[in-house]
Amino acid sequence: MPLIPKHEAFCRQYLVDFNGTQAAIRAGYSRKTAYSIASALLKRPDIQDRLNVLKAETAARFEADADDVIRMWWETATADPNELVQHRIGACRYCHGYMHQHQWKTDREFLDAQAEYDARHPLAKEGEAERLRPSEEVNHGGYGYRHNAPPNRECPECAGEGIGYVVMLDTTTLSPQARLLYNGVKETRQGREMLMADRQRAIEHVARRLGLMKEQVEVEASSSFAILLQHILTSGSAAPIATARSILIPPPDNGEGKG
């Protein structure tokens, strides 16, 4: 027997995101009663039968089944974010400078720092200018600073801990699993931001399909797979780190600035 229009709408909306409350609201039910109505509807055999029919129709259209969807979510949940973005530790400005003084990247960077100081402090007193203005005679650790050089354990400035910086990796070399995580790059005022899929939500989707969460949808799955997922939900997960050539966007100055 066909469902009434509101029940049919609920079933179709439920398959959008498997959120019963939101599905009830989108189907036309009151926000105040949506939660209780959704809970009651999902317990009805006729609603469950209709949901199963709609799922089968969707799978047929896409030539996919529940296992394909679960596998994609599983791959997303266990993908390694280090294939996209990495936090690394490199040398601070004083690690490899002569006598552990401030080290410059190039002569041009040093001259730019002098010009910037002069522009900002045109009326600086002579003693102050000699003390604070970048100079080859005072507090000059030479040239050749590289942020990705290893920290110097003897550095008195950073105590050998170095400076952290972020590397965005070349997305053309990603593994198929990591590609599921990659959602593009966004330009912000602070720089470029790597966008990633929500791994936790992917885990929850798999858990829901395997009946490991309160809102259950029955799916055949091996007991060993269910046990493994339960372990990840309680203990966290880590995938093997894949290697890739890195591209730094943009090259960080490690907060040291000029001068």
Q: Are 217 and 208 in contact (CB under 8 A)?
A: yes
In tens, the pLDDT along 190-219 reads 888 899 999 998 888 888 777 776 544 444
For residue 9, the domain's CATH number is 1.10.10.1400
Considering the domain architecture, whether residues 14 and 123 belong to the same structural domain is answered as no
Which residues, listed in sequence order, are joined to residue 88 by a DSSP beta bridge?
Answer: 165
Contact (Cβ atoms closer than 8 angstroms) between residue 187 and residue 67:
no
18 and 111 both lie in a single domain: no
Looking at the 3D structure of the chain, how many domains does it have?
Answer: 3
Same-domain check for residues 137 and 71: no
Residue-wise pLDDT tens digits, 137-170: 878 999 999 999 999 999 999 999 999 999 999 9
Mean pLDDT along residues 123-134: 67
Domain interval for residue 27: 1-63
- Could you tell me if 182 and 228 lie in one domain? yes
pLDDT digits (tens, 9 = 90+) for 23-40: 999 999 999 999 999 999
Q: At which of 161, 181, 213 does a domain end?
A: 161
75 and 133 co-located in one domain: no
Do 83 and 207 lie in one domain? The reply is: yes
* Helix locations, 18-120, DSSP H: 20-26, 34-42, 45-62, 66-78, 107-120
